[in-house]
Amino acid sequence: MTLKLHDASGKTLSGPKLVWTLISGFRSMYLWAALALFVATAFQFVIPLIGSATIDYVLMDQPKHDEPLLQSVITLIGGPQRVGQNLWIPAVAMLALAALGGLFNYYQKLAAAKASDGICKRLKDQLYDHIQRMSNRHLDQTQTGDLVQRCTSDVETTRIFLAAHIVEIGRGLILIATVLPIMLSMHVGLTIASMALIPVIILYSYLYIKKVKHLFTEVDEAEGRLTSVVQENITGIRVVRAFGRHDFEIAKFEKPNAEYRDSSIKLINIMSWFWSVADIASLTQIGIALIASSYLAMQGSVTIGTIFAFLALLNMVLWPVRMIGRILTDFGKTAVALQRINEILTQPFETEGDQVTLTPDRPVSGRIEFDKVTFAHNETEPTVQDISLQVEPGETLAILGPSGSGKTTLMHLLLRFYDCDSGSIKLDGMDVKELDRAYLRAQFGVVLQEPFLYSRSIRNNIQFGVSDAQQSDIEAAANMACIHETIQNFSDGYDTEIGEKGITLSGGQRQRVALSRAILRNPPILLLDDALSAVDNETESSIIDALQNRHGKQTTVVIAHRLSTLAHADKIVVLENGKITQFGTHQSLTAEDGLYRRLWAIQTQLEATLAKETEGRGDHGRETTTSA
């Protein structure tokens, strides 16, 4: 069941409507909790009435005024004469009622806890699912730590409110609705004196929550910033240590930490004032009731038993009334938390706006066409501009260019991580905007610029895209990526667990595992975004040879800075400042003036120099050995 915490305009619901929507699907559990609470409260009411009836009709022999309610209670437990001879009867009755009340209280708390846990599990599932489907533009602009805080701390705030305070609201309403008639039936004047400050406490609680509501937002936002700093620091801890930036990071952490502390202290100070004033008002109310009851007792208007009952019932009412401030406080925190959660749930899916979602019943052949494609991030200068090129099925396209020239952006557009602002991209003649995204992405095997590996076994990482892959297929893919022998040398082989993001592997090993994952999928199109940058020349040559053996079987798009990786390609594109400045084969591009020929000359000269130096060191070593 999907929750909608907002109205048609996207504004977060508020008040009872928000709570009613939030508990949908679990209302029956809350109903049973409310019934159990009603029974427990009824038992609690009877306890002071038994004490009052025992005092007036047994210990005091006879009340000065007949009270039908107390007469009924004393008759129910055996009558004045029998109770007078067996004073253990009211004691046992009060203990039994307290035990039964405790039992029903346990059930109502259990039912409310189960309901709140169920609601929050559903909320977490919905948040996680929504984040998976959110547009990349929004994810690019959102801090990871803030997303984590909304999915954990904000949901936990909601759970606490649903588990405790919804039932407390019911308890307060039941107590006021039940106690007031009972007290009025016993003595109107004393009831008015005993309830005089309760409206004042309720009004004070309402004004208090209006004053502090904005502070909840400040505290939540400060906690989100703090979580983001912690998450970022832990992720980049090796960079911090490598550059000796411990002191800088500590200073960087101190600012959001101090902001969170200051916001929390400010909120705590105001809450302390509230509780102090509420406690004083509650004690003052008890004092007013004592003074009024003492005066009426001296006048002969009330009995000692009535005073006992009034004070007991008043204490029962004052606690939930005093808790109104706490309930309103936590409701304010919950409302802020749900507003932050709703900000995620109202973000559009990346599929929003898709008009046509074709799902052909066959894989594509691999023909790619960019037709005057232009795209810009955040309405800035276009990242790629007026790109037109064509790749035939089975061909290899290589893309070269300086950092920031738009190479990776072309791949992201092809995968529809973003949609181009103008122009079109076609796959087998079909506009990618008309294809179902799941179908489209199933046609690609991808190795991203920064390969991401999960904290699982190597086998699980390789078969990530093909969960039912056989071991022989996994090994074949690893062999093609030149990582099979390396994996076998690990103590647990393919079952070796790697750390978060594959941290226990070297950069080259991570790239080759990611390449194995893409190859295993056996897609019509293979996208390699600088996939061999951390691999040595010899290993790179072996991988290229293996990929060349598949030439003609699948379309391959390669991004690289090392020209030896690109030289075998059927077509080479040179990008500069988001535009195509050169297009051709390795032979044609080395023959014409331009960036490609300059880079080729530099890299060729560098490799020759390194080879000569290596050869010289080898000759010197042989001469030394001979003379020795």
pLDDT at 290 over 80: yes
- Let me know whether 313 and 384 are in one domain: no
Directed axis angle between helix 88-133 and helix 304-345, to 10°? 10
Q: Any residues with CB less than 8 A from the CB of 612 and at least 6 apart, and which?
A: none
Q: Do 313 and 195 form a contact (C-beta atoms < 8 A)?
A: no
Q: In the 8-state DSSP scheme, what is residue 13?
A: P
Q: In the 8-state DSSP scheme, what is residue 622?
A: H
Q: Do 180 and 321 form a contact (C-beta atoms < 8 A)?
A: no
Q: Quick one: pLDDT at residue 614?
A: 66
Would you say residue 377 lies in a domain? Answer: yes
CA distances from 98 to 31, 102, 243 (A): 22, 6, 66
Torsion of CA 112, 115, 118, 119, to 10 degrees: -100
Q: Quick one: pLDDT at residue 425?
A: 94
Q: Quick one: pLDDT at residue 475?
A: 93
Closest CA to 49 of 94, 101, 4: 94
Beta strand pairing status for 525-529 and 555-559? parallel
Residue whose token pair is 């030439």: 551
Q: Do 264 and 16 form a contact (C-beta atoms < 8 A)?
A: no
Average of per-residue pLDDT across 347-366: 81
- Let me know whether 129 and 276 are in one domain: yes
Would you say residue 524 lies in a domain? Answer: yes
- Let me know whether 324 and 272 are in one domain: yes
pLDDT at 626 over 50: no
pLDDT at 486 over 50: yes
Would you say residue 490 lies in a domain? Answer: yes
Average of per-residue pLDDT across 40-53: 82
pLDDT at 622 over 50: no
pLDDT digits 0-9 by tens, 257-286:
998 899 889 888 887 888 788 888 888 888
pLDDT digits 0-9 by tens, 80-118:
778 777 888 888 888 998 899 899 989 988 999 999 999
Average of per-residue pLDDT across 201-218: 79
Which CATH number goes with the domain that contains 524? 3.40.50.300
Q: Quick one: pLDDT at residue 388?
A: 94
- Let me know whether 286 and 401 are in one domain: no
Q: Do 233 and 246 form a contact (C-beta atoms < 8 A)?
A: no
Q: Quick one: pLDDT at residue 63?
A: 56
Average of per-residue pLDDT across 482-496: 91
Q: Quick one: pLDDT at residue 61?
A: 61
Q: What percent of the chain has pLDDT over 70?
A: 95
Average of per-residue pLDDT across 239-244: 78
> How is 39-64 classified by DSSP, letter by letter?
HHHHHHHHHHHHHHHHIIIIITSS-S
The tokens describing 174, both together, are: 């039941």
Largest CA distance in the chain: 129
pLDDT at 580 over 50: yes
Instruction: For residues 12 and 95, give the distance between their C-alpha atoms in angstroms, rounded to a whole number.
Output: 47
Torsion of CA 487, 493, 494, 496, to 10 degrees: -100
- Let me know whether 335 and 448 are in one domain: no
Q: Torsion-angle region of residue 416: left (phi > 0), alpha (psi -120 to 50) or beta?
A: left
Range with the poorest average pLDDT among 307-311, 482-486, 526-530: 307-311
pTM of the model: 0.74
pLDDT at 134 over 60: yes
Which CATH number goes with the domain that contains 35? 1.20.1560.10
Supply φ then ψ for residue 371, to 5 degrees: -125, 100
Average of per-residue pLDDT across 475-498: 91
pLDDT at 628 over 50: no
- Let me know whether 407 and 318 are in one domain: no
CA distances from 56 to 77, 88, 136, 287, 470 (A): 14, 16, 75, 23, 85
Q: Quick one: pLDDT at residue 390?
A: 93
The radius of gyration of the chain from alpha carbons, rounded to an integer in Å, stands at 37
Q: Quick one: pLDDT at residue 501?
A: 80
The distance from CA 300 to its chain's CA centroid, rounded to whole angstroms, is 65
If 0-12 CB within 10 Å is exposed, 13-18 middle and 19+ buried, where does residue 264 land?
A: middle
Q: Quick one: pLDDT at residue 616?
A: 67
Average of per-residue pLDDT across 47-76: 72
Identity of the highest mean pLDDT range in 56-70, 173-187, 520-534, 611-625: 520-534
- Let me know whether 339 and 453 are in one domain: no
pLDDT digits 0-9 by tens, 428-465:
999 998 888 889 999 999 998 788 888 889 999 999 88
pLDDT digits 0-9 by tens, 380-433:
788 899 999 999 999 999 999 888 898 999 999 999 998 898 999 999 999 998
For 277, half-sphere exposure in the C-beta direction (CA atoms, 13 angstrom radius) is 18
Range with the poorest average pLDDT among 352-366, 397-411, 460-474, 564-578: 352-366
Number of compact structural domains in the chain? 2
Q: Quick one: pLDDT at residue 378?
A: 73
Closest CA to 146 of 220, 249, 255, 252: 220
pLDDT at 156 over 70: yes
Would you say residue 244 lies in a domain? Answer: yes
Would you say residue 1 lies in a domain? Answer: no
Question: Mean pLDDT for the chain?
Answer: 83
Instruction: For residues 569 and 583, give the distance between their C-alpha atoms in angstroms, rounded to a whole number.
Output: 12
Average of per-residue pLDDT across 207-232: 80
Would you say residue 115 lies in a domain? Answer: yes
216-126-517 Cα angle (round to 5): 120
Closest CA to 471 of 407, 431, 520: 520
If 0-12 CB within 10 Å is exposed, 13-18 middle and 19+ buried, where does residue 70 land?
A: buried
Range of the domain at 553: 368-592
pLDDT at 625 over 50: no
Q: Quick one: pLDDT at residue 373?
A: 94
pLDDT at 305 over 80: no
Would you say residue 136 lies in a domain? Answer: yes
- Let me know whether 374 and 338 are in one domain: no
- Let me know whether 322 and 420 are in one domain: no
Average of per-residue pLDDT across 557-574: 86
pLDDT at 127 over 80: yes
Q: Quick one: pLDDT at residue 623?
A: 42
Q: Quick one: pLDDT at residue 1?
A: 63
- Let me know whether 341 and 372 are in one domain: no
Average of per-residue pLDDT across 186-211: 82
Would you say residue 73 lies in a domain? Answer: yes
Q: Do 513 and 461 form a contact (C-beta atoms < 8 A)?
A: yes
The tokens describing 234, both together, are: 């832990």
- Let me know whether 292 and 377 are in one domain: no
Residue whose token pair is 């079109």: 424
Instruction: For residues 81 and 91, give the distance between their C-alpha atoms in angstroms, rounded to a whole number.
Output: 16
Domain termination residue (choose one: 330, 345, 360): 345
Strand pairing partners for 447? 528
Q: Quick one: pLDDT at residue 232?
A: 79
- Let me know whether 337 and 423 are in one domain: no
Instruction: For residues 111 and 115, give the distance between their C-alpha atoms in angstroms, rounded to a whole number.
Output: 6
Average of per-residue pLDDT across 54-78: 70
Average of per-residue pLDDT across 369-385: 87
